[in-house]
Structure 1
Amino acid sequence: MAAEFEVPSPHEQQLEHVVEHAHGSGDNFAGKIAMVTAIMATAGAMFSYQVGSTESAAAMNKNNAVIKKTEAANQWSYYQAKSSRQNLSELAMTIPGVDASKYAASAERYKKEKEEIRIGAEKLEAESLAWDEKSEASMHQHHRWAQAMTAIQIAISLAAITLLTRKNWLKRMSFSVGGVGLVLGALAALHI
C-alpha cells in the first residue's frame, strides 16, 4: 500500500509557523485572532441562514401577490362581462315590441351583481398590494443580512492576513469590519 502524503501550500506553512511561534513564545496575538475569527465565522453562518430565509420569504410573498393580482384580474373580467350584459339588456329595453320590464329587471340584476364583483375585485387587489409590501420588506431585510454577511467575510479574510503579517493595524481593521457586520446584522434583525 502506497503511503499518502500531502504537500502543504506556502500559505498553510506560514499559518502553521505563525501559530506555532505564537504558542511557543507565549504570545497570544494569534490566539486572540483565532478566537475572534471563530466568533465572526459563527455570526457569518447565522447571517448566511438568514440571507436564504428572507430571500425565500420575499419570493413566497411575491408569489402570493401575483396570485391575488391574477384573481383580481379574473374578477375584473367577470365584472366586464356583467357590464356587457347590463348594456345589452338596457339596449334591448329600447327595441319596440319587446317586454321592456323583463330587460329592465335583467339590467338591474346585472348592475347589482357587478357591484358585488367590484367589491370582491378591489379586496383582492388590496390583498395583492399587502403581499407586495411584505415582499419588499423581506427583500430589504434580505439585503441587510447579505451586507452583514459580506462584512463578516471581509473581516475574516482580514483576520487571516493579520495572522500572516502580524500587523496590529490590520487586526484593528478586521475587528472594525467585523463590528460593522454585527451592526448590520442587528439592523437586519430589527427590520431596519
Structure 2
Amino acid sequence: MSSNGFHVHGPHDHEVEHAVKHGGDSLTAQIAMFTAVIATVGAILGYMGGATQANAGLYKNNAAIKKTEAANQWNYYQAKSNKQNLAELSLEIVSGSRREFYQNEIERYKSEKVEIKAKAEQLETEAGDWEGRSDQQMHQHHRYAQATTAIQVSVAIAAIVLLTRRNWLKTVMYGMGGVGLVIGGMAALHI
C-alpha cells in the first residue's frame, strides 16, 4: 500500500483477497491453494537447481586443478627423462670410475620416473572423476531448471484460469504442475 492509499496487485492477488474477504467460490479456493503449494515447491526446486549448478562449477574447478597438477607431474617426469638421457650420453663418453657414477644416476632417474608417472596417472584419474561429478551435477541442474519452468508456467496458467473460468485450462494448469513435480522428482533421484 502506498502513502496515497493506492494498492496495486495482479488479478490472482485480487481473486485470493476476494476469496478470503467474501468467502469466494470453491474454484478460487482451489486455485489459491494449488498456487501456494506449487509455488513453494517451485521455490525449493529453483534453489536446488542453483545449488547443483554451483556444485558443478566447483567440481569442474577441482578437475582443472587436478589436470594442472598432473601436467606438472608429467613435466617433472620429462625433466627426469632428460637428465637420464644426459647421464646415458655421459656414460658413453666417460671412462673409468665416472662410468659407475653415471650408471647409478641412470638407475636413480629410472626409479624416480616410476613414482612420478604413477602420481601423474593418479592425478589424471582424479581429474576425470571430478569431471564426471561435474557432468552429473549439470544434468541434475538442467532437470531442476525444467521442473521450475513447468511450475512457473502452471502458476501463470492459474492466473488465467481465475480470469477466464475455463475448466480445460484448469486441467492444463494441473497437468503442467504435475509435469513440474515429476521432473523435479527425476532431478532429486538423479534421473
Task: Provide the TM-score with structure 2 as the length reference.
Answer: 0.91
Q: 2:66 aligns with which of 60, 65, 68?
A: 68
CA distance in structure 2 between the aligned counterparts of 1:65 and 1:188, rounded to whole angstroms: 23
- The CA deviation at 1:100 is 1.5
* Displacement after TM superposition at 1:185 (Å): 0.4
Q: Is contact 2:15–2:28 with CA below 8 Å preserved after alignment?
A: no
- Are the structure 2 counterparts of residues 6 and 22 from structure 1 closer, same or farther at C-alpha, using a change threshold of 3 Å? closer
1:191 counterpart SS class: coil
Label 1:169 to 1:131 Cα distance change in 2 as closer, same or farther (>3 A): same
* Residue number in structure 1 paired with 2:120: 121
2:50 is paired with a residue whose SS is helix
Aligned to 1:172: 171
1:176 maps to a residue whose letter is: G
Secondary structure of the corresponding residue to residue 93 of structure 2:
coil
Change (3 A) 1:16 1:24: same
Matches within 5 A, 1:43-192: 43-97=41-95, 99-192=98-191
Distance 1:175 1:131 in 2: 39
Offset of residue 20 of structure 1: 3.6
TM-score, normalised via structure 1 length: 0.90
Alignment-derived partner of residue 6 in structure 1: 6
What's the CA shift for 1:181?
0.1
Displacement of 1:24: 5.2
Q: 1:122 to 1:15 in 2, by over 3 A?
A: closer
Is the contact between residue 16 and residue 29 of structure 2 (CA under 8 Å) also seen in structure 1?
A: no
Rate the CA distance shift 1:8–1:131 in 2: closer, same or farther, 3 A: closer
Range with greater deviation from structure 2 (92-101 or 27-36): 92-101
- 1:78/1:25 CA distance change after superposition, 3 Å: closer
TM-superposed CA distance for 1:104, in Å, is: 1.0
Partner of 2:29: 31
Gaps of 5+ in 2: none
Alignment partners' CA distance in 2, 1:17 and 1:57: 40
Describe the superposition over 1:90-117 as per-residue Cα deviations: whole angstroms up to 9, x where unpaired.
0001114362221111011101100100
Gaps of 5+ in 1: none
SS of equivalent to 1:94: helix
For 1:21 and 1:59, the matched residues in 2 are separated by 45
Asked if 2 retains the 8 angstrom alpha-carbon contact of 1:15 and 1:163, the reply is: no
